[in-house]
């Protein structure tokens, strides 16, 4: 290699390295977002999980943070703080991350206070997961203004009050999980007519009462879990041969209805009705189901357990403590 070629090569390498280092050191983070995040860190009392957030670094490279691409100017789109012993409330500054799509506070036992009202400003929010914290107060009705919400999971908290009926107005909601709180009152009548698709509903382990609105019978809910509440009356409208339901858990309520004519969709895979006041017999149609889990124990059922399908695959514990059920896997009928 002659001298001029070597010089040219070295020059190119130099320029390339320069280009690489300048592009790497370029701060993608929007300065407003960085300022806001540093305030959040302070409000949360500099918790261990995000102790490494350094104002000198690009906030898009910080742990617990994701930024969008150039189309949104690399604004912060995700904040996920989980598994920490931090003692604080949700900082009001989370409302000042205007491009946030995902907000997760999970497994923070000493996160207390109400669900921060400034979250109402996050108009792009699609994924809200606040679980295993000690949040109190209501499920806020302002959530229904956040039209991009697809996933709401507020399970394992100390939320109280009733379920806001306006949640049915969310056009993109696919999952509503409010289980393991202290919610009271009825399932809103409005849940019979969701604006958009019908979300999977997980409302178990609360103190919900009253009867299920009749209007829910029109819905084709894929997964519904109402277990461990104080619901009563008829629940037969949740079933239906023409639906595409996959799981129904009504266990440990006070439902009372006649099972004899209830047709279950062939798609149903999990069916738990234990601990209610359900009467009648188990329909023969149920032998056509492919069931992975099944439990009708502790009801007031009577008559012969139909033979066939998956119904004999479950042991007697799935059928015990009824009024007068008989036939395999229980004692044979007299
Ligand atoms: C969390 O709160 C409990 C009860 O208030 C308290 O006893 C405990 O010390 C707190 N833990 C931390 C890490 O602050
Ligand atoms: C909420 O706090 C109480 C005591 O302050 C504690 O016993 C409980 O474990 C906390 N809840 C969660 C979900 O960590
Ligand atoms: C909601 O969060 C809880 C607790 O982290 C989790 O077990 C559950 O699967 C979540 N529900 C949905 C629908 O994702
Ligand atoms: C279920 O579908 C069948 C066939 O499409 C129809 O004849 C029947 O009326 C439907 N039943 C109900 C309860 O909608
Ligand atoms: C059915 O539920 C009862 C009551 O909770 C429980 O004891 C039993 O183990 C369950 N059986 C099956 C097969 O899940």
Q: Which atom of ligand 3 is nearest to the CA of 156?
A: 4
Residue 31, Cβ neighbours under 10 Å: how many?
9
* Bond before 329 cis per omega within 30 degrees: yes
Residue 4 has pLDDT above 80, yes or no: no
C-alpha 133 – ligand 3 centre gap (Å): 13
Residue 251 has pLDDT above 80, yes or no: yes
pLDDT at 172: 97
Q: H helices then E strands: how many in the chain?
A: 2, 20
Q: Are strands 65-67 and 76-82 parallel, antiparallel or unpaired?
A: antiparallel
Distance of CA 238 to the CA centre of its chain: 20
What CATH number has the domain spanning 28-326? 3.80.10.10
If we measure between CA atoms, which residue out of 328, 227, 322, 230 comes closest to residue 270?
A: 227
Residue 318 beta carbon below 6 angstroms from any ligand 5 atom: yes
C-alpha 31 – ligand 4 centre gap (Å): 59
Q: Which ligand is located closest to the Cα atom of residue 47?
A: 1
| Predicted TM-score (pTM) above 0.85 | yes
Across the strands, what pairs with 106? 82, 131
pLDDT at 13: 66
Q: Any idea how long the chain is?
A: 334
104 — pLDDT class (breaks 50, 70, 90) = very high
Which residue lies with its CA nearest to atom 3 of ligand 1?
A: 110
Residue 15 has pLDDT above 90, yes or no: no
Q: Dmax of the chain from CA atoms?
A: 106
The contacts of residue 134 (CB under 8 Å, 6+ apart) are 109, 110, 111, 112, 157, 158
Ligand 1, pocket-test mutation among 89, 110, 112, 135, most atoms within 8 A of CB: 110
Q: Which ligand is located closest to the Cα atom of residue 266?
A: 4
Residue 87 beta carbon below 6 angstroms from any ligand 2 atom: no
Q: Where are the domains of the chain?
A: 28-326
334 — pLDDT class (breaks 50, 70, 90) = confident
Residue 49 has pLDDT above 70, yes or no: yes
Residue 227 beta carbon below 6 angstroms from any ligand 5 atom: no
Residue 190 beta carbon below 6 angstroms from any ligand 3 atom: no
Q: Which ligand is located closest to the Cα atom of residue 299?
A: 5
pLDDT, tens only, 112-154? 999 999 999 999 999 999 999 999 999 999 999 999 999 999 9
Which residue lies with its CA nearest to atom 1 of ligand 1?
A: 110
Residue 78 has pLDDT above 70, yes or no: yes
The predicted model gives 205-227 an average pLDDT of 97
pLDDT at 20: 53
CA distance linking residue 199 with residue 223, whole number of Å: 8
CA distance linking residue 153 with residue 248, whole number of Å: 19
pLDDT, tens only, 172-202? 999 999 999 999 999 999 999 999 999 999 9
């Amino acid at each position: 290699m002659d001298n001029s070629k070597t010089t040219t090569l070295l020059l190119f390498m130099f320029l390339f390295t320069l280009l690489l280092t300048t592009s790497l050191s370029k701060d993608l983070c929007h300065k407003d977002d960085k300022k806001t995040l540093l305030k959040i860190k302070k409000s949360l009392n500099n918790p261990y999980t995000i102790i490494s957030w350094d104002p000198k670094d690009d906030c898009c490279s910080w742990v617990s943070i994701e930024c969008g691409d150039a189309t949104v100017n690399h604004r912060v789109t995700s904040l996920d703080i989980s598994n920490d012993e931090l003692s604080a409330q949700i900082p009001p500054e989370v409302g000042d991350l205007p491009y946030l799509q995902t907000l997760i506070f999970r497994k923070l036992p000493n996160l207390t206070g109400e669900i921060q009202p400034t979250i109402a400003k996050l108009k792009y929010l699609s994924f809200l997961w606040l679980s295993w914290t000690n949040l109190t107060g209501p499920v806020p009705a302002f959530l229904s203004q956040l039209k991009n919400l697809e996933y709401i999971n507020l399970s394992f908290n100390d939320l109280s009050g009733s379920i806001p009926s306006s949640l049915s107005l969310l056009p993109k909601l696919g999952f509503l999980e409010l289980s393991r709180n202290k919610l009271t009152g009825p399932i809103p009548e409005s849940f019979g007519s969701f604006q958009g698709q019908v979300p999977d509903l997980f409302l178990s382990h609360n103190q919900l009462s009253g009867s299920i609105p009749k209007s829910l019978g029109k819905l084709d809910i894929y997964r519904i879990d109402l277990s461990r509440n104080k619901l009563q009356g008829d629940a037969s409208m949740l079933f239906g041969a023409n639906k595409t339901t996959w799981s129904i858990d009504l266990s440990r309520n006070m439902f009372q209805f006649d099972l004899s004519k209830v047709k279950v969709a062939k798609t149903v895979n999990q069916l738990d009705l234990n601990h209610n006041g359900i009467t009648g017999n188990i329909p023969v149609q149920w032998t056509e189901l492919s069931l992975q889990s099944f439990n009708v124990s502790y009801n007031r059922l009577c008559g012969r357990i139909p033979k066939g399908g998956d119904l004999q695959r479950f042991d007697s514990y799935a059928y015990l403590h009824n009024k007068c059920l008989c036939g395999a896997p229980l004692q044979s009928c007299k």
